Amino acid sequence: MLPATRVEQARAVAQRVHAALADRALPGVEPPRVMTVSMGLSNFDPLRPLDQTLRALDDALYTAKHEGRNRTVVV
């Protein structure tokens, strides 16, 4: 959760997370491997029921995984 953050700003944070993970190999793992992350992003709309927002974010996460993982999908 990134309160008071626009989607463009959240996308930039997600890109920094992707880059930070890509730069660090998992310690003690041979051959060296890096961790990846798939994320779903959405604006919070106080007029939209929370369960709908969470369902949309969950769908975005599965879309990111099915499109090749290690990516961010904005809904």
pLDDT per residue as tens digits for the range 3-62: 889 999 999 999 999 999 999 999 999 999 999 999 999 888 899 999 999 999 999 999
CB count in 10 Å sphere of residue 48? 12
Domain extents in the chain? 7-74
Predicted pLDDT of residue 75: 87
Q: Does residue 51 come out as left (phi exceeding 0), alpha (psi in the -120 to 50 range) or beta? A: alpha
Query: Model-level pTM?
Result: 0.80
Predicted pLDDT of residue 59: 93
CB proximity list for 43: less than 8 A, separation 6 or greater? 6, 7
Residue 72: band (very low, low, confident or very high) from pLDDT cuts 50, 70, 90: very high
